[in-house]
Structure 1
């Protein structure tokens, strides 16, 4: 008997007039195909309400990643456009599958790998991309027609407006008063922080029901709709990688603007004055505009509220410049009372601890011992999990054998068919899980030499306090820096790329703020 090929299913439905049932129909068709062609289905990857013009699909990415494990031979889709409607992505990911020895099969498009089928496949993919772009064009055409009538086109309306049954904008007077107050404060010289404090102290909320922050204030001051001008198609287009710059706008010729297209909450004079003031403040040089290299950007967090901390630079009159990390919640929403910490203090502490705990020859034997112990414990845990699954697998196989014996002896019951299908599915899932653990658990012990070689290139930069060079690799070793009211804690995560899944070992170090300040002042 020919050995069954092992396959996985990839199914997807987008939001363009498709439903959850669309995936069920795709899976049924693929399962029928698999039965007719002696293919065993191990797993189903399904992305719901995801467009195939983008590769930002979690289950799709997981399927591509799993293809390297050697567990399955085939990926089956209902149609090629379920795999991708973007020709570049399609070619790129097919190449990855091919490199892993995986074949892609479309149930509805019979492509056998011949020269003719290669051409046909290219035509099908081109048509899928055409369909996607044509659909987007038709949707845009319909939206433009509604925009010319100044209709609401979906989503939440801006603060200060509601939408009636005919999709026309109407003023929400309670919210409109908040908008007027924000513009009035801004054109009278109040800064973002003062406006944020005022709104949040009054208990005002954004349209989403959140407290006000810098971004929400900016979006109000920058929104021409409040002056009675209906605006459509302002946001810039996505780039080749599906990303959009929210701070950039399209050319005026591509927008639809209709003066008087919606109720005005403020006068045009007020809006224009606010825009001019925003432009002036944006261009103002100021001490805080000077460039500063922050080593811990993206790594440092407030221990009081959990928000990310931001670099802050100021030059008080007749005093030296003061550069620090400040809680983002304190900056944006004035909602945290954790004090800022001087940049040089916290960065010196992190680099000292990095040198002492990680990039130090004396620390290497201790680190290697910890890593190998971690690997051993992980392997032990995985072994226990595998043993449990093997016992369950043996029980499932026993139940299958019992049903086969019963049928052979003439004791057939209608329930047997459904039970056999359920058991076969459990058997396949267990075999897949056991194989995945076996592959991931093949982790060797590491040596001191391997660790020393990995650290050698970075040690010099740390000893020299070469911040620009340290910034290039700091995220490989520092997982997080947490600034509490009374202490600072750094968590080092050492990832080893010669281990499976880039295994990570954590090391923690902490110091009280008072001690930290004394040490740094002595160094200075």
Structure 2
């Protein structure tokens, strides 16, 4: 009689000696029956809820080859705890002519498969229910429900009885600093891939000691995975967001999102790493970069919308003759796409991409840095803004002063009634005073505090900011945020053929700002007024964010 031994221990019994104990008992049993043990198969620290185990798979393959005629194990639950799996194993072994014998059940029959399989399945379900009950109690006590989150350390301590107290966490300041850095750099405009590459280049170990990857940082916003979506970092512990099922085909765990009403949320402010403002900024940027079905319908592929522009003014350059786009027609030159692809435009002139970008940046620096112009503008701007803010502050002061007067008038009216004046005569007056008091209290409660006055030295601050902006735009390593801010100020760049070259016209808030810096506050006195009328049209001269006109020639 050729016999194969099988032994397994699962994660709920982490004791390697258990394997040797099972094999020793099985060898003794085989020796008493004078059976020949040809081989032994083991699975260490693997759950019996699936047959996707190397030891049991090798056992099944050797059984099909006829290597042995009996499988001997300590109990059926060592082979499998799943009803379907144990029934399938029994069916395959019966087809191969291999008997299954266990020390607990003896010669396994279909009756054992049905009864013990059901009992083992119930055991697994009962174990899962008890585990979830214990985890929920731990969560509601403000402790972790399992797993170590990056940025925290496990606190190992014992109760009075010497039993370990599980679920306590403390902030790991080194890792917390990296978490804050990831949040700040993402808000500044860096992609998860760029952040991961930088951290790996600096030798920063990621979670579990491995390398950083984009998915580790970005994760899944809906499922709350990834560094940027872990609400533990703002002091909020969420449990039961996901449930896990085993795929019957592969035996691997697959996550499913639970309804939000089933989530268990617990505030743990002592574990906060990221401030609410920074968290909200990350969520706001994610909202602009996350594609959903609702964003369809504008004819632009979603992947193209999410792609970061390669150059400073990508997709913003237009032909002043036909309105079509200007694209790269060679490694360095920009040309009208309509003229080359459709032949419906006669504008065949080209311009170097780097020349265009430098023209805009030089215009930004030279025109905005003229000392006399920006000092005059800043002085006037500061004076006007401070005047408006002081007027708003004066309204609040007046309302605060009126409220005590209304109270005094009410007191006088009530005293008059007490002195014998008929109440009918004062009824209307008291009603008006009470209504005015309620109105004042509501206005004061809802009125925001007036913003602080602008500093009179705004011109110097302005000059420093413009210098820093220009320097950041020149530095490819630090220009991400500056580029995004500059692109937000430009709605379009039109290239118009004039005198054998392409004239550059900006449209948008940046154009309006440059106009102000040049002290050109009216389109009628703009030196390029006739050109703008001919090629751009009056309709495009729409005021930007408080500025006019919204076009400027460089």
Q: Does 1:263 align with 2:283?
A: no
Deviation track 1:9-41 (CA, whole Å, cap 9, x = no partner) reads 111111213522222222222222222333211
Cα distance in structure 1, aligned partners of 2:201 and 2:46: 40
For residues 17 and 264 of structure 1, do their structure 2 counterparts lie closer, same or farther at Cα, with a shift above 3 Å needed? same
Tell me what 1:251 maps to: 259
Q: Which has the larger radius of gyration?
A: 2
DSSP 3-state at the match of 1:238: strand
Contact 1:232/1:256 (CA < 8 Å) preserved in 2?
yes
Tell me what 1:174 maps to: 174
Deviation track 1:164-211 (CA, whole Å, cap 9, x = no partner) reads 335433222332222112112212322223322433344433233333
Structure 2 runs not aligned, ≥5 long: 158-166, 219-225, 305-309, 316-326, 330-554
For residues 281 and 27 of structure 1, do their structure 2 counterparts lie closer, same or farther at Cα, with a shift above 3 Å needed? same
Cα distance in structure 1, aligned partners of 2:203 and 2:9: 42
Contact 1:150/1:262 (CA < 8 Å) preserved in 2?
no
Range with bigger deviation, 194-203 or 76-85: 194-203
Tell me what 2:196 maps to: 196
Tell me what 1:277 maps to: 285
Tell me what 2:227 maps to: 220
- The correspondence of residues 52-451 of structure 1 with structure 2, limited to 5 A, is 52-111=48-107, 113=109, 118-159=110-151, 161-166=152-157, 167-218=167-218, 219-241=226-248, 242-245=251-254, 248-260=256-268, 262-283=270-291, 289=303, 318=327
DSSP 3-state at the match of 1:208: helix
Contact 2:100/2:108 (CA < 8 Å) preserved in 1?
no
DSSP 3-state at the match of 1:43: strand
For residues 107 and 267 of structure 1, do their structure 2 counterparts lie closer, same or farther at Cα, with a shift above 3 Å needed? same
1:119 deviation in Å?
Answer: 2.7
Normalised by the size of structure 2, how large is the TM-score? 0.48
Range with bigger deviation, 12-21 or 198-207: 198-207
Cα distance in structure 2, aligned partners of 1:203 and 1:18: 34
Deviation track 1:25-75 (CA, whole Å, cap 9, x = no partner) reads 222222222223332110000111111111121010000011111121111
For residues 173 and 22 of structure 1, do their structure 2 counterparts lie closer, same or farther at Cα, with a shift above 3 Å needed? closer
Deviation track 1:95-129 (CA, whole Å, cap 9, x = no partner) reads 1212212111122113464xxxx334411221112
Contact 1:225/1:262 (CA < 8 Å) preserved in 2?
no
Contact 1:230/1:257 (CA < 8 Å) preserved in 2?
yes
Cα distance in structure 2, aligned partners of 1:173 and 1:185: 18
Q: Which has the higher contact order (CA 8 A, sep 6+)?
A: 1
Cα distance in structure 2, aligned partners of 1:112 and 1:68: 18
Structure 1 runs not aligned, ≥5 long: 291-313, 321-524
1:262 deviation in Å?
Answer: 4.3
Contact 2:102/2:108 (CA < 8 Å) preserved in 1?
no
Cα distance in structure 1, aligned partners of 2:238 and 2:270: 10
For residues 64 and 184 of structure 1, do their structure 2 counterparts lie closer, same or farther at Cα, with a shift above 3 Å needed? same
Contact 1:12/1:47 (CA < 8 Å) preserved in 2?
yes
RMSD (Å) for aligned C-alpha atoms: 2.8
DSSP 3-state at the match of 1:236: strand
Cα distance in structure 2, aligned partners of 1:70 and 1:138: 42
Normalised by the size of structure 1, how large is the TM-score? 0.50
